[in-house]
Structures are given as structure tokens and as C-alpha cells.
């Protein structure tokens, strides 16, 4: 197995640690929108812009991916009767049917043992700047259900814990680095060991809580974490990721996490939209050039410069041009001569997972160096004017 496949499976399996009729899409315009869950978070993936946050920085139990915890753990598992399975079969069972056995099998395959896998995941999360976690197993189950098979030095009632924002970061890396995972998570069902398995995500096409555009990612439930759901959907031509942790009143409403997700997606649909400030190839400014046949270089973009704005914003925030200091000829066509950065003032929480959108500025044309005597004469004149 290649390194890239190892990373791919690590991310997929860790997402599984979440344990984690038709929904009407109605507009939600309120500025004080409050989703029906204790913790929630939403972002747009192409820019990392935060679209919603509710107590999203508090590490909480993030559940396993069983349907409901019972005293008999195996009741909620996809049966595993064969001695060997393909990685694809195990991934399907983990992501679609929330099989704890499949998750453990993948963990042991990747790292040699479940504790070694937990250590591997901790190191991966550190590289993404995620430090608010408490991880003790690959399934998200409370240790009390695992007998003697618990992480070294962990307590008998320990459970995986993480903030809603960190879960969104993991989902962001998953679908950004490995977008093909959506071809798995968008399936209403599949087959495992010759038997049909059903996706626990009820918002997919053909499912009872269907919403157009939803194609992932993962549900989860435990006694401590409640009903949870990390979703991804296309809304207003935006790729959106949402996290719902501990949805309100799941005992009376088993679809509470899906209805909360639907309400959050309605709010995003009514509030946000993408806006292209500059098109690919468009001239956005002029960079000063020293000692060149031309005094400035036209700055262009290789790609469209698209940002996420609120629909009620009549004047979008400006983009700032930051040209390379002391740019000297020769300047070659398509040379990096600065950066264009969006000056977003409509921020939620910290604003962005990383930083506001920014693209490199490229020189439109080649600018050659002036004749050496002309440069010498100009430098002399400047010296006389400034020093004498």
C-alpha cells in the first residue's frame, strides 16, 4: 500500500470515529439563527470561510458510529463472517453501515494494532493544527464497552472527545485531499459479504429525509455524545461542510440531527453566495518595476478570484494588492510579482479555518532590462536630486 493510500484510509477511518420523509428547504433569514443542537459548525470548503458557529470550540464526546448503543455491541455491527475482506469492503462498511468491527480491522491493518492506530491519528491531527482532542480508540465507543481492549493508561469510562470545529477541519481535509470519498458516502446502500448494507445518512437521494445536494458524510450516536452528524452538501454552488453535535430532543425525534442539519443548510442557502471579484486573465493592477523598459508590469490572475459573501452585502469587501518589494527587471511573463488577498470584514468566529482567500499575481508580459547606460544615467540623476 502506498503512502497516499495510507493517509487516505487514516482520514476515512478517523472520520468514522464520529461514531458518528423528505426535508423541505425553506429560507431562513434571521441574523440570530440558532440551530437545534448543543454544538454546531459550518464552513465553505473552497475558501475555508466559517459560515456558522455555536459553542464550536468546546471539546465534547463525539460518539461512535453505531446506530444506538445497546449492551450488546455486536447487535449494531455488520456481521463479519469471512476471514479476509478488501480495503474497499471495510471502508464501505465503516462509512455506510457504521461497522465497529470493520473500523477496528482497518485500524489494525494500517498500524498493526488499534492503540498504534490511535497514536498514528494523533500525529496526523497535529500536522493539521488540531490539538483539542482526546482519542482512546478507533470506534468512538465508550471504553466501558471494550472490556480489557482499551488504550494504554486510559480510564474505563473514557471516550473520544473533540470540538465541532476540529471535526469540520477533518472533514475539510478529507474531501479536499480525497474528493473521491464522496462516491462512497453518497451511496444509499452497498453490499458487504454478499449482504445489503444501508447508509445511516437519511438525507441522501432515495432516503426518507432527502435533501438535494447532500452527498455525505457520517452519522454517530452514543449515550454521552447524543445524536451527531457531519454532512457535506452543494448549496448555492458552494461546497459546504456542517457539524451537528448532540442534536436537541433525539428521544422524541429520531430525525433531530437531520432536521437540525437541514435548518442549518437552509440558513446558509438564504444568507451566503459565491462572488467572483476578478476573472482569470483579468488585469487587476500594475506593479512598479525598477530598471525595466516599462515602469510597471500588468498584474493578472491565473484563476478566478472567488469569495463567499452575504447576500445582503451591497458593497463587497475590497481585495488588497501586495506587490513584490523592489521588483527589478527583467520580469518574465507569468512571473510571480505579488499576491491578491480578500479583506473580509464580515467574519464569524475566527473568520476562516486558515486565512482569507489569496491568489498569486502574475506578470502579464515580459519586461526586459533597460540599456545599462540609461540605468546608470537615471541612477546618477536620482542621486543628485536626493543627496545634493
Residues making up the annotated binding site are 218
Q: Which residues are annotated as a binding site for substrate?
A: 218
DSSP three-state, residue 125: helix
Three cell numbers written together for 287: 506593479
User: Which residue(s) pair with 191 in the sheet?
Assistant: 196
CA distance 122 to 383: 59
CA angle 193, 198, 203 (to 5 degrees): 155
CA angle 383, 387, 388 (to 5 degrees): 105
109 Cβ contact list (under 8 Å, min separation 6): 87, 90
Question: Which H or E run includes 322?
Answer: strand 319-323
| Sheet of 358-363, strand order | 283-288, 296-300, 358-363, 336-342, 319-323
Q: What phi and psi, each to the nearest 5 degrees, are found at residue 336? A: -70, 120
Per the document, the length of the chain is: 388
DSSP three-state, residue 197: strand
355 Cβ contact list (under 8 Å, min separation 6): 48
Going from the C-alpha of 265 to that of each of 227, 243, 249, 261, 364, the distances in angstroms are 18, 11, 19, 6, 41
DSSP three-state, residue 277: strand
Instruction: Using alpha carbons, select from 382, 197, 367 the residue that is nearest to residue 287.
Output: 367
Largest CA distance in the chain: 92
CA distance 275 to 364: 24
Instruction: Using alpha carbons, select from 246, 277, 282, 262 the residue that is nearest to residue 343.
Output: 277
Three cell numbers written together for 70: 445497546
| Sheet of 37-44, strand order | 49-54, 37-44, 238-247, 226-235, 214-222
Amino acid at each position: 500500500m502506498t503512502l497516499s493510500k495510507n493517509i487516505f484510509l487514516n482520514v476515512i477511518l478517523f472520520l468514522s470515529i464520529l461514531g458518528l420523509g423528505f426535508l423541505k428547504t425553506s429560507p431562513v433569514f434571521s441574523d440570530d439563527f440558532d440551530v437545534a443542537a448543543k454544538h454546531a459548525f459550518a464552513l465553505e470548503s473552497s475558501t475555508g470561510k466559517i459560515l456558522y458557529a455555536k459553542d464550536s470550540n468546546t471539546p465534547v464526546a463525539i460518539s461512535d458510529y453505531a446506530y444506538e448503543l445497546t449492551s450488546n455491541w455486536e447487535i449494531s455491527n455488520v456481521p463479519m463472517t469471512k476471514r479476509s475482506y478488501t480495503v474497499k469492503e471495510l471502508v464501505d462498511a465503516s462509512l455506510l453501515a457504521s461497522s465497529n468491527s470493520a473500523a477496528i480491522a482497518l485500524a489494525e491493518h494500517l498500524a498493526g494494532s488499534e492503540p498504534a492506530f490511535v497514536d498514528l491519528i494523533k500525529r496526523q491531527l497535529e500536522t493539521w493544527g488540531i490539538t483539542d482532542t482526546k482519542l482512546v480508540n478507533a470506534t468512538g465507543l465508550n471504553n466501558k464497552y471494550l472490556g480489557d481492549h482499551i488504550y494504554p493508561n486510559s480510564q474505563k469510562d473514557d471516550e473520544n472527545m473533540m470540538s465541532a470545529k476540529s471535526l469540520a477541519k477533518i472533514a475539510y481535509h478529507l474531501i479536499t485531499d480525497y474528493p473521491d470519498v464522496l462516491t462512497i458516502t453518497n451511496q444509499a446502500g452497498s453490499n458487504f459479504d454478499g449482504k445489503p448494507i444501508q447508509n445511516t445518512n437519511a438525507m441522501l437521494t432515495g432516503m426518507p429525509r432527502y435533501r438535494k445536494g447532500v452527498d455525505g458524510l457520517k452519522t454517530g450516536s452514543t449515550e454521552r455524545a447524543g445524536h451527531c452528524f457531519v454532512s457535506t452538501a452543494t448549496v448555492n454552488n458552494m461546497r459546504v461542510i456542517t457539524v451537528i453535535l448532540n442534536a436537541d430532543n433525539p428521544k422524541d425525534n429520531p430525525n433531530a440531527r437531520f432536521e437540525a442539519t437541514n435548518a442549518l443548510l437552509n440558513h446558509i442557502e438564504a444568507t451566503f453566495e459565491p462572488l467572483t471579484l476578478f476573472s482569470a486573465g483579468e488585469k487587476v493592477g500594475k506593479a512598479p518595476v525598477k530598471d525595466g523598459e516599462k515602469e510597471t508590469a500588468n498584474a493578472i490572475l491565473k484563476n478566478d478570484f472567488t469569495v463567499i459573501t452575504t447576500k445582503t452585502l451591497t458593497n463587497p469587501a475590497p481585495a488588497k494588492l501586495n506587490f513584490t518589494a523592489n521588483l527589478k527587471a527583467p520580469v518574465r511573463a507569468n512571473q510571480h510579482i505579488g499576491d491578491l488577498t480578500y479583506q473580509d470584514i464580515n467574519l464569524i468566529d475566527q473568520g476562516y479555518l486558515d486565512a482569507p482567500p489569496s491568489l498569486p499575481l502574475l506578470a502579464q508580459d515580459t519586461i526586459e532590462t533597460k540599456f545599462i547606460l540609461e540605468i546608470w544615467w537615471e541612477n546618477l540623476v536620482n542621486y543628485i536630486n536626493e543627496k545634493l
